[in-house]
A and B are shown apart, each in its own frame.
Chain A
Amino acid sequence: VSRLRRAAALAALLSCLAPAMSAQTTFKGRPLTDALSMLRRQGLNLIFSSDLVRPEMTVEVEPAGATLQELLETLLAPHGLTAEIGPGGSLLVVERTTQPIIVSITSPTSRRTAIGTVKMSATLVSPEPVEWVEFLVDGRQHGLRRAPPYEIEVDIGTDNVVHEFEIVAYGRFGAEGRASVKTQRYVVEGRVEVALRQLPITVTLGGFAVDNLEADDFVLEDEGRREPIVTLAQADLPIRAVLLIDASESMKGQGLRAALDGVRAFLSRLGPEDTASVLLFSDRTLAVTPFSSDEQALLARIEGASAGGATALNDYLFAALEILRGIDGRPIVVLLSDGADVVSVLGIDDVRWKIKRSDALIYWIRLPGLVGLGSRFSSSWRNVDQNRREARGLEAAVRDGGGRIEDIEGIGTIEVAFDAIIEELRRQYVVGYYPSEPRYDGSWRKVEVRVRRPGARVRYRNGYFDQ
């Protein structure tokens, strides 16, 4: 700290003085004592001894600094000398001790995850002019900057791994400084060595997404205890979406065509780091694709599919969640269905069990159908009352998990609904925090989030199993 204060005082002192040397004067090759004496004559209270500034020392570099500080440094630094504030506001020429450049990385920060395009930036405090700043990720150089601002953007890929970001600054006269941060893996499951919990949060005001919120805008409570938010990102975690399309008999013809248009719209708005899998189902698998970001490849695999059969909604919703298990990024299920399960072997309670243990958000585009909550519908596997309970259970599961039900009037608005969902995902926040009293006992922990914006609505998963 004292060094920083001294440097600041020196800069202030020198900045008060008029430029000491005329542009016409040539110093290179002349004795150093001559150059310093000239500065003295021009009013600079410069004190130096003949032990340090010896007669044989010559000016090695023609001084070209815009400020007196730079000019003085140019004269002294090649000889291992520098100037410090002395008694009575004088400047003492002293032997230079090797002092590092102080590098403070402002982005990324440790404890945050880093995937895709990441901004690297730093502020520097340097005892001498900075020659260049080098940006490295995991030991590989990704860029150089010779002047402020010292920042670059770097694409580090989608691997969910720990990255080391290092920024190294080099001074004109040999000073160096470096700093590094290690970012964290995105933790998909509750089981973590570092116990970081990440929670997707959607914030809306009057039905529109609220952007540019800061960590301080959120209030998060885990089991009633307020927790500080250590990471905050808006939409920079890649999306991993399973598009789960009910292609049962009722979707034959126009219905399926409209559904595929919706899928197409969703895929076209995925970012380069996002991936999706498409699963068309009825009581059987009609088409399924692996995860890919290649829109055309995904569409090619589903476009020949035709609708037919009864609906096994619970079974395939479970399958979608299972497919997303352990995957890095932001797991999402977009379900298009009227919600009428006819033949599943799994009940909605089985699916809710899974939903509670999954990090996936479920967006349900609910088609109007014969099977609203108030209608009478039965099959050999469930009677009317059981089906009503199933439908209510699915609604609750989607909402408890922080997802959303988008009720649409008909197949004509399927595409719009898909569009609205991808737009929402693009503007969703992910906050990270460390539960201060983790128990790791498998118990359910309730989470509450508020945002300091009057009238804003917040949607998030309302808890998790502490495992």
Chain B
Amino acid sequence: VQRGVRLLVLGALGVSLLGAHDSSYSKRRFVGEYRDILRQYATGDIDGALERYVLLETQASRAADDRRYQSMQSAKQKLHRKMRRASVETLPPLTQFQERAYVAYLERHDSRLAIYARLLATELAERYAVAADTGPQRSLASGMLASLGGYAHDALQETAASRLYGQSLELDPDHVPALLGLAALNEKRGEYVAVTAYLRRLVAAGGKGLEPRLRLAVNLSRVGPSDEAKDALRRLVAEAHEDWIRSIAYQELARLLLREGSPLEARTLLARAVAELPCDPTLPIQLAYADDRAGRTSSLDLVTALASCPYRDEPAPRARYTHPPTPLFDQLRQRIAEAVATRLPTLAEALS
């Protein structure tokens, strides 16, 4: 049913993308060009193929009338079915191609084509998941679904993200990015007890880096006695080499101390944090607050502290925390790209 609904959405989106008509964009020409682009992609020229594809889709969406554009999309999906019949291993390259197109459309602020590409990629990934029999196939399918879940998560499509993470975990129950992504989504819903239990198991299973430990510590501080949370945060302050993780560990530890009525201890901690991370925007503000609660006049000139670092076009640590775990997804996508590269010859063969 879900797939049926999605196909309907795809069709509707295809129709809604249309603008002025141009009879030169025939279905035959469109599919021929798409096939040619896929051939280029199959040779390994991913960027060149992607550039042509984005241009083709954009022009077609603007030039064809509703009916003809819909028929073009149908033809594209028909081509995908032909590829799948030739070999199911053509699906990972096709999925990744649509996923890359999704990112390209986002960068061009073309949200309608972006959504279309993500839905198409999801459709292809799900088909591969259904067909996957072997361990490596299931692992790849799980990764592709988690990756798409991450993109949906980023785009605040939380229902879709949750479903994709869930599908990924059905294929691989220990898939770390999917687990963390799902934890982050549940965190937004305020289901802290469930998230904590989940993250506790994940960390106990093998560490998996500092980000899961940070998320666990943050959620521990929300659900129970603070001693365990404080210990976890203190270890992160000492061990984390990534600034954003260390910054949040400092902030949350100070928050716990303030909550417990220890503003002097909090201010000492935050003064150390400001010295270590002078360009973090949150720390001097929290230090001023701790000073205030401790009944002290702030030792900071806040205007100077806020203006002291050059502007950086990157999210503050707490904003970064609200996104899916980026480095893990970057690593995941790198692994998927490597797996897809081995399947490009299969795609080339199917196209021929």
Contacts and interface: CB of A to CB of B under 8 A. Distances in A.
A62 interface: no
B188 A346 contact: no
A378 B319 contact: no
A290 B318 CA distance: 26
Given A309-B315, A319-B302, A380 B282 contact: no
Interface in B142-173: none
A346 B289 contact: yes
Interface in A174-230: none
A310 B255 CA distance: 21
A15 interface: no
Contact of B190 (A289, A309, A383): A383
Given A308-B313, A345-B255, A383-B190, A319 B285 contact: yes
A381 B190 contact: no
A322 B321 contact: no
Chain B interface extent, by class: 20 to 34
B5 interface: no
Contacts of A312: 281-282, 316, 318-319
A290 B303 contact: yes
Nearest to B187: A380
A277 B303 CA distance: 9
B189 interface: yes
Given A345-B251, A354-B289, A283 B319 contact: yes
A378 B188 contact: yes
Contact of B292 (A343, A354, A379): A354
A343 B281 CA distance: 12
Interface string B19-30: 000000000000
A321 to B, nearest CB: 9
A326 B322 CA distance: 36
Nearest to B252: A345
B137 to A, nearest CB: 33
B319 A343 contact: yes
Interface string A359-389: 0000000000000000000111111111000
A346 B286 CA distance: 7
Contact of B281 (A284, A308, A318, A382): A284
Contacts of B303: 277, 288-290, 323
B298 interface: yes
Nearest to B282: A345
A385 B190 contact: yes
B124 to A, nearest CB: 30
Contact of A345 (B286, B293, B312): B286
B307 A342 contact: no
A285 interface: yes
Interface string A317-349: 011001100100000000000000011111000
Contacts of B312: 284
A429 interface: no
Given A290-B303, A386-B190, A283 B285 contact: no
B211 to A, nearest CB: 12
A381 B289 contact: no
B288 interface: yes
Nearest to A314: B285
A233 B292 CA distance: 31
Contact of B316 (A277, A283, A290): A283
B318 A319 contact: no
Contacts of A326: 297
B306 interface: yes
Given A322-B292, A350-B289, A379 B313 contact: no
Interface of A: 277, 279, 283-290, 305, 308-310, 312, 315-316, 318-319, 322-323, 326, 342-346, 350, 353-354, 357, 378-386
Interface of B: 184, 187-190, 251, 255, 281-282, 285-286, 288-289, 292-293, 297-298, 302-303, 306-307, 311-313, 315-316, 318-319, 321-322
15 contacts: A287-B311, A309-B316, A310-B316, A315-B285, A319-B285, A322-B292, A323-B302, A345-B255, A345-B286, A346-B285, A346-B289, A350-B289, A354-B292, A357-B292, A383-B190
Given A285-B307, A309-B316, A380-B187, 11 more contacts: A287-B311, A305-B311, A310-B319, A312-B319, A345-B255, A345-B285, A345-B286, A353-B293, A378-B189, A380-B184, A383-B190
Top 9 closest pairs, chain A to chain B, by CB: A383-B190, A283-B316, A343-B318, A283-B319, A310-B319, A380-B322, A378-B188, A285-B306, A284-B281
